[in-house]
Amino acid sequence: MAKKKVTVSLEGAVMTDAGLTYKGVIMETIDEKCEGCERIVSFEDKKYCPTYAQPATKWSKGVCNFATHARADVDKAGKVKVNPLKASKRAARGR
Ligand code: SF4
C-alpha cells in the first residue's frame, strides 16, 4: 500500500503581537522532537505545526500520534510498547 502524502499549510495564518494566529489559535513553535516530521511548516523563519498548536505539550505525553517520522507505539526510551489487548490475544492463540 502506498504511503499517504501529508499536505499541510498555514494558509490564512497571521502574525500578531501575541504570536502566530491560525484559525483563532495562538501557535507555538515546534518541539525539538518534531524535527523530521512532514507536517512542519515554516512561517517567517520559525517552524510551526498546523496539526497541533502546542507541539511540546503533545510530546510531553509520549510520541506524537500524528508524527510522520516516529511511530506512536515506540516510547521515549526507544522500546516498543506492546498493546496489552493484542498481547493477550497472541497469548491465547499460543504465539
Ligand atoms: S504532527 Fe506532531 S511531530 Fe509532527 S510537527 Fe506536529 S506536533 Fe510535531
Name the one residue in this structure whose C-alpha cell is 491560525.
22
Position 75 scores a pLDDT of 54
pLDDT along the chain (95 residues), means of 10: 73 93 95 94 95 94 87 60 70 76
Position 35 scores a pLDDT of 94
Residue 30: closest CA among 9, 49, 8, 10:
49
Q: Is the CB of 41 under 6 A from ligand 1?
A: no
Position 20 scores a pLDDT of 95
The rounded radius of gyration (Å) of the Cα atoms in the chain is 17
58, containing H or E segment: helix 55-60
Ligand 1 centroid – CA 29 distance (Å): 10
Please, which residues have CB within 8 angstroms of residue 65's CB and are 6 or more apart in sequence? 72
Q: What is the dihedral of CA 86, 77, 52, 69, to 10 degrees?
A: -80
